[in-house]
Chains A and B, each alone.
Chain A
Amino acid sequence: MSARAWFPPLLASALALALVFLMLPVVAIFVDTSPARLIDSLGDEGSREALWLSLRTTAVALATIVVVGTPAAYLLATRSFRGRSLVVTLIELPLVLPPAVAGIALLAALGPKGILGGALEDAGIELVLQTAGVVVALTFVASPFYVRLAQAAFQAIDPTLLEASRTLGASEARTFVRIAIPAAMPGLTAGAALALGRALGEFGATLMFAGSFEGITQTVPLAIYARFGTDFDAALALSAVLVAVSAGILLSVKLVARSEVLPDARA
């Protein structure tokens, strides 16, 4: 074997190893569940409620993340100011926080005894053990995924493009909406897909901050956990549903992103 011939097979076996390791548990979920069981679990009132709650809270969280995160990421990507890298690091911090820490942190900040607890109570806002609390937990853990990728996408835009828009008389706001966002769209979509996946799967912070109650705060991951102790098959079937839903959303986001990018690429 020549000195170089070993390297490509090494790469291939690393990829094969990663693929098998990552796919085996996911495949096992479906191998262990019969399709009939899967449909049964969708007929279960509690499971349907959990799924509906998960989709609703994730949608609200994602909308909040995109509306606030896009301009914030644009600012971080296009301006340099003192303390910018500190701000970037702070925004990324929830990425590396364990979910349990996120839950404790949210309680310490927004819980009844938290630093803003009194102010929230005066304003009549109740988050803990409420559906709104689930949205807060999802937004907290998922937003860095979006902001990070959005910032990278905005940074990758050729600055002369934005410059040209401004020289031609477009306002800053118009440049952002008409030039920057379309140009960054693939990155924004990828970020949104990642944030969505993270939000749909959120468990620890939700349990600690929002609790677990059917129809109010028990999202699909919490419902899976609740079934684990009593009915493993039901937990497995609900897991399969979550995998299918997540994969479906991921796939459609990718398709939408491609159909939006292609015309631009041809132009």
Chain B
Amino acid sequence: MRAAAWAAVAAAALLAGCGGDGGGDSPRLVVSAAASLSDALGSCSRSFGGADVKLSFAGSDELAAQLRRGVKPDVYAAANTELPEELHREGLLGTPRGFATNELVLAVSEHSGVRSVDDLAKPGVRVAIGSSSVPVGSYTREVLGRLPRARTRAILGNVRSNEPDVKGVIGKLSQAAVDAGFVYRSDVTATGGRLRAIHLPRELRPMVVYAAGVVKGAGEGQAAGRYVRGLASGRCAAALRRAGFGPPPG
């Protein structure tokens, strides 16, 4: 009786052990990517050149912090060039490549009375932005910094939430918890018309470049290199264009 029970336990443990890498021989590519990339990369990278791609999306700053604490994905793709450059200088990331551009826009819900950045300074307007550590938040502060000081202060006074990533801003907007928020054009595209994008005047627009690199010591270095190159030209590049991202700079 008891022997049978132990055999059952052992068999279960064995099965559980095998279940972990049920994918067989195909290499597993772990990609840590900015939250704003989730829709585009989710559709194009289910399988990439025979590799089984696992995507992990969060604020670029949070993913960088994970890397610094020893988390080792194969690819890191951020919504700016600064974070990948920093990680490269720290010896954690191979040379980063710019692979796409995006545009910071003012997103509003269908019935919002907000028509321009100036409207954000009006009393009672509720605004959500990214926190200062996440790229979308620093781009937003860059825009606000180019406005007259009094207006910047008025707009920051209307900010109700500093969201940890851009999807948080979208969530607050689509639930009508706020009237307007700064997000990327591609995020508005992804809502399929539920939100409207107001383009910023050219002189306010920050340069939004996405860069990616192969993580040093990645288990799947070669596949990771192919994946990073494929972001600039290939199936994922096409998916990025469809999602509203621009081609890489230069």
Q: Give me the interface of A with B, judged by CB distance under 8 Å.
A: 107, 111-113, 128-129, 207-208, 211-214, 216-218, 225-226, 228-230, 232
Contact = CB atoms under 8 A, between A and B. Distances in A.
B187 interface: no
Interface stretch (B38-46, B155-163, B230-238): B155-163
Nearest to B68: A232
A210 to B, nearest CB: 8
Interface in B119-146: 126, 128, 131, 133-134
Contact of B176 (A113, A216, A232): A113
Given A226-B133, A228-B62, A229-B134, A213 B161 contact: yes
The main secondary structure of chain A at its interface with chain B is loop
B219 interface: no
A52 to B, nearest CB: 18
B161 A129 contact: yes
Given A111-B176, A112-B175, A211-B177, A229 B64 contact: yes
B103 interface: no
A226 B177 CA distance: 20
16 contacts: A107-B175, A113-B176, A128-B175, A129-B128, A129-B160, A129-B177, A211-B160, A212-B164, A213-B161, A213-B162, A218-B162, A229-B64, A229-B133, A229-B164, A230-B65, A232-B68
Given A112-B177, A129-B128, 5 more contacts: A128-B177, A129-B172, A216-B160, A226-B164, A229-B133
For A113, A211, A217, A218, which residue has the most chain B Cβ atoms within 10 angstroms?
A211
A142 B146 CA distance: 44
Contacts of B161: 129, 211-213, 217
B114 interface: no
B176 A229 contact: no
Interface string B163-199: 1100010011001111000000000000000000000
B160 A225 contact: no
A226 B162 contact: yes
B61 interface: yes
Contacts of B61: 229-230
B202 interface: no
B1 to A, nearest CB: 13
A217 B69 CA distance: 28
B59 interface: yes
A48 B65 CA distance: 23
Interface string B60-87: 0110110011000000000000000000
